Chain A
Amino acid sequence: MATNKKGGISKPALILGGLTLVLLVLVIIFFTGGGGEKVKRFVDSNVPKTAETAGAKALTKTVTLFFIADDDLLHKETREITAGPTEADEAERALTELIRGSEEGLISPLPPGTKVRQVFIARDGLATVDFSRDIADSFSYGSTSELAAVYSVVNTLVFNFKPVKKVVLLVEGAERETLGGHVDLSRAFFPDYSLVAR
């Protein structure tokens, strides 16, 4: 009994110690597990669905670009770009491809020679894209071509990059009234798929 009692006294301490240890382990698993999951998700989003491959090649991502066709609407065209490391990097590459033009005979709504200076994606879903001055100076925009230029950019970013909800366009790092006298650049744009062919 006495030993039992003695054992009884030390038993709660043992249980407490055991519980603490279990808790500690759980906490460690929780944090490292959480971190691991984050990393996994990040990698997942960068792995293109079509990639079956193949050691040496860098990871690619399939993006959808918006070009103008004969019917004067925006049409989708897919393109492989290099994946990662950040979605802002991928966004920059997607827009560079948009400027570079169609491989299927469609027309890019953006002036050739335009450079994507920077893409920044904020936590609230606002993507800010900074273009070189060519985007405004190299075209004499009408309303239709100006709307196409703006929304090809906005649609391309929102369509391909989940975190992006709306887009602001800058020219040479500064806010600008319009590209060519029509579309108001002072507000963020939500995508407009009514300009896209069905």
Chain B
Amino acid sequence: MQIFRIKRPALIAAVLAIAAVGLAFPGPVAAAPAQDQALRTVVIDPGHGGLESGAKGKFGNLEKDITLAVSLKLKALIEKDMGFEVVLTRDRDVDVSIENRSAIANNRKAGLFISIHANGSVQRKAGGSETFFLSLNATDEETRRLAYLENNSSALQSRIDPSSDSDLMMILWDMAQNAYIKQSSRLAELVQAELDAMLGTRNRGIKQAPFKILTGVACPAILVEAAFISNPDEEQKLASDAFQTKVAEAIFRGLALFLKRGE
């Protein structure tokens, strides 16, 4: 609390400075999308892991195993065909907290973040694929702050001091993803179109949800839900190497289109 009080003027100063920069040079700041500045690293996040196995299928397949398999395939595809470094938030069956996953992305200066999951519903007939990006359950106060900062994402990012106190960090990282909502939505749309074209599963479209993994990531970020492990037919597909490859390829294609149109 004490630390927070000391840092508060610094936060206000930073916000004012960002606003001043935005007002003084509206052109250049607005014209430079953060993602084009240096997309060098893509972070892939295989959902769940370790003791936390995610959704379970009737035949005993676990979400955590499928997400890892798809993620490894996607990593290989990107490394083979694109010049990017690919970082996985886990490459084995281990527990990684959600906070650590977004910390990995932010520390490695991720330019794009893709979290991979297989879906689960209590309704066994539920099926299909969908792609999410973040919706913040913003309070009025937060909405005001976010609106204020929305068009200053790159300035915001460069002003986050990794050594600063954790309360302040949390506030800023909390808002970080909001600056990338438009890009995240476009990436989600392109990936979802490819999933629909390649998987033969029902198209559940793109959606927004308040997913923890997406809140703290400071770059365009999506969460892919490829088919339902709770649906016996789709579970068997998800367990097959061929289907896992298709999921990875679909995401890879959507990503390629996103990068192509971004330039």
Contact = CB atoms under 8 A, between A and B. Distances in A.
Contacts of B99: 177
Contacts of B37: none
A141 B120 contact: yes
Interface in B216-233: 223, 225, 228-230
A180 interface: yes
B121 interface: yes
Given A144-B225, A145-B121, 17 more contacts: A68-B122, A72-B121, A140-B55, A140-B63, A142-B54, A142-B229, A143-B117, A143-B209, A145-B120, A177-B97, A180-B54, A181-B98, A183-B209, A183-B211, A184-B212, A187-B137, A189-B210
Interface in A98-129: 107-109
Interface in A126-155: 139-145, 147-148
Contacts of A72: 121, 123, 125-126
Interface stretch (B45-53, B105-113, B186-194): B45-53
Contacts of A70: 123, 125
Nearest to B142: A187
Contact of A142 (B98, B136, B215, B230): B230
A184 B228 contact: no
A181 B120 contact: no
B119 interface: yes
Interface residues of B, number: 35
Interface of B: 47-48, 52-56, 63, 97-99, 117-123, 125-126, 132, 136-137, 139, 209-213, 215, 223, 225, 228-230
Given A141-B120, A145-B230, A184 B52 contact: no
Nearest to A71: B123
Given A181-B52, A183-B211, A144 B139 contact: no
User: What DSSP secondary structure best describes chain A's contact surface?
Assistant: loop
Nearest to A194: B207
A65 B251 CA distance: 38
Interface residues of A, number: 30
A160 interface: no
A190 B135 CA distance: 12
A147 B137 contact: no
A178 to B, nearest CB: 5
B160 to A, nearest CB: 19
A143 B225 contact: yes
Contacts of B225: 142-144
A147 B120 contact: no
Contacts of A185: 212
A188 interface: yes
